[in-house]
Amino acid sequence: MSSSPRVWVAGLDEAEAVARLLVQFRDHMGRDWPSANAFLASVERLLEDPSTEFLLAAPNDDAPAAGVCQLRFRFGVWYAAPDCWLEDLYVTEAARGDGVGAALVGLAIDRARERGAKRVELDVSDANAPALALYERFGFRTGKEPGARDLLMRVKL
């Protein structure tokens, strides 16, 4: 008998679970930095920050966390309300296809609404077709202008 994914807001006592999944995400992306210790220290710091939440998800009630995402909230002038940035959504390979990613996105949208956000933004590689399909299922779109795609730009300092 299969059950629905379980999804929740990570508590302060779950920093190690969050960091473990972020390290797996780092490894999945072929990187070797930040270190596991740096991830844990960062997660512990961010769990203390009221403008940041980590969400965890498991394929069922009996399974450990197999998915994570980070939400960052900030006040935005264009909506005169909070904005939510959905960051670092990752699901372990073994849990993909079990609805874990969808459960995380669904809770992210619910949490954003609960906190008064008027929009949720994220960045995703256009080569990541499964992620694009997932986000589009929840109504995410590229481009503010018809036929145009918004671009995330950055400068490293």
**What local confidence, expressed as pLDDT, does residue 26 receive?**
98
Residue 107 has pLDDT above 80, yes or no: yes
Question: What DSSP string describes 67-89?
Answer: EEEEEEEEEETTTTEEEEEEEEE
Average pLDDT across the chain, whole number: 94
The reported pTM is: 0.93
Among 3-7, 32-36, 96-100, 151-155, which stretch is predicted with the lowest mean pLDDT? Answer: 151-155
Q: Give me the pLDDT at residue 135, please.
A: 95
**pLDDT tens-place string over residues 21-41:** 999 999 999 999 999 999 999
The backbone torsions φ and ψ at residue 14, rounded to the nearest 5 degrees and listed phi first, read -110, 15
Per the structure block, which two tokens stand in for 125? 């590689």
Q: Does residue 34 have a cis bond before it (omega within 30 degrees)? A: yes
pLDDT band (50, 70, 90) for residue 145:
confident
Q: Is the pLDDT of residue 153 over 90?
A: no
**Which tops the pLDDT comparison, 150 or 53?**
53
Mean pLDDT of 36-55: 98
> Per-residue pLDDT for 1 more than 50?
no
Per the CB < 8 A criterion, the answer to whether 74 and 51 are in contact is yes
Domains and CATH numbers, the chain: 6-137 (3.40.630.30)
What pLDDT does residue 2 have?
58
pLDDT digits (tens, 9 = 90+) for 56-83: 999 999 999 999 999 999 999 999 999 9
